[in-house]
Amino acid sequence: MKSAFHNLATGALAIAGALATVPACAADAIKIGVIAEAQAVAGSSIAPAAQLAAEEINARGGVDGRMIEIVVYDNHSSSADSVRAFQRAVSEDKVNAVIASYISEVVLALEPWAGRMKTLMITPGAASDVITQNIAKDYDHLKYTFHGYLTSSSLAGLVCDAAKDLLVDPYKMKSAVIMSEDAAWTTPLDAGYEKCLPEIGLKVVDHIRMSPDTTDFTPIFNKIEGDKPDVIITGISHVGTQPTVQWKSQQVPIPMFGIASQATNSTFWKDTNGAVEGVFYNAVSGPGVAVTPKTLPFVDAFQKKFGNFPSYAGYTAYDDVYMIADAIKKAGGTDSDRMVDAMEKTDYVGTIGRVVFKPKGDPNPHALKTGKGYITGLMLQWQDGKQVNIWPKELAVGSTKWPSFIKLKAAAN
């Protein structure tokens, strides 16, 4: 019986609509496994974006004449299913590399398997710093894992930078409540928030970590309103729909600003029936934002093919396929250790900026370098059904607009 988690390109890629099978000679094909959350808002863009990149590369002749074949596995947001899919991908389907998941717990479960099976793996969306900290502790065994998205601590720093420019300076905001889901990726995120928010002038008056199973956010919002903060700083990825809908329905008069992974997907307006209006969220790219010359062509191609704009993990998955292809070319083939060596030398301008990995010896080897000249991140706000980038100033395509129920204590200058 075929595994429920194994879907070849001819069938499984229906998760994105109707994706074409990559034409490839099986004997010569370079196989890239994609283990992702097909039904999740943030994860649904991963496989389609990878497929789009493969089609583009194949249209240009592939990698030294070898076509790229994307083999997709729906992990149902399960670590156990992901491990089984990874084992099958490598042992039976003979994939040469794996792009895996936006969920940190999933990637942490797969990381030792990438080491045991000596298979290059990159995550397009998980954030936990522990992923790369593990590599630092056991480089020889875990060097096969790469972090294709920002670490949680990096995300916290970018949110604080944006908050200073967008909240503290113009609106004289002075206090914040941290509201994060209880998950592996938010532990270092929240620690980063607690450190950097006071540094920019926002006193943390409360810190709420909610269960991912929470369905009624009324008590949480009531408590936050009682604390009277100027802003809610968020760390939500898996439970974003309910708190967003209830924030609007309960007319919580406090802005939400921070990480909201589901808000990066253009479907989130419909998912929340417009309740996301006014929510600020961090992203590595976004519609209408020319982070690099490659950003808008990718967004246009994705939208044309699949009918919606990608989530944050779509941008990175697309770039990941190109980086894997480049590593294979530089390595002269698909030997895993040579591919790792080549990936470590990556210096690639993708859709999210210039991608360079931190080196062996760094506390977070194989994490992305961030800051000026590398990945800087954006801060977008949902306005009238559209995702509008507000920060940084040089990439802004609009200005802040608040829903009528938001009560600001100080007017902007």
In one-letter notation, the amino acid at residue 252 is V
Mean pLDDT of the chain: 91
Separation between Cα atoms, residue 95 and residue 369, nearest integer Å: 28
Separation between Cα atoms, residue 106 and residue 109, nearest integer Å: 5
**E strands, 42-133, in order:** 68-74, 97-100, 120-123
pTM score of the predicted model? 0.83
Do 58 and 64 contact (CB within 8 A), yes or no? no
pLDDT at 164 exceeding the cut of 50 = yes
Q: What is the DSSP string of 353-408?
A: SEEEBPPTTSSSTTSBPBSTTSB--EEEEEETTEEEEEESGGG--S-----TT---
Per-residue pLDDT reduced to its tens digit, 287-316? 888 999 999 999 999 999 999 888 889 999
pLDDT at 16 exceeding the cut of 70 = no
**E strands, 199-334, in order:** 203-210, 231-236, 256-260, 280-283
pLDDT at 117 exceeding the cut of 70 = yes
**How many CB atoms lie under 10 A from the CB of residue 123?**
32
Q: Is the previous residue joined to 392 through a cis bond, with omega within 30 degrees of 0?
A: yes
Supply the pLDDT for residue 266: 83
Domain extents for the chain? 12-150+291-356, 153-283+377-395
Domains 12-150+291-356 and 153-283+377-395 share a fold: yes
Question: In CATH, which of 3.60.9.10, 3.40.190.10, 3.40.50.2300, 3.40.605.10 is domain 153-283+377-395?
Answer: 3.40.50.2300
Per-residue pLDDT reduced to its tens digit, 172-198? 999 999 999 999 899 999 999 999 999
Do 253 and 225 contact (CB within 8 A), yes or no? yes
CATH topology of domain 12-150+291-356: Rossmann fold (3.40.50)
Residue 387: what are its φ and ψ, rounded to 5°? -95, 115
pLDDT band at 258 (very low <50, low <70, confident <90, very high): very high
Kindly state the percentage of the chain with pLDDT values over 70. Answer: 92
Per-residue pLDDT reduced to its tens digit, 367-385? 999 888 999 889 999 999 9
Supply the pLDDT for residue 28: 86
> What number is the average pLDDT over the span 125-146?
96
Supply the pLDDT for residue 41: 80
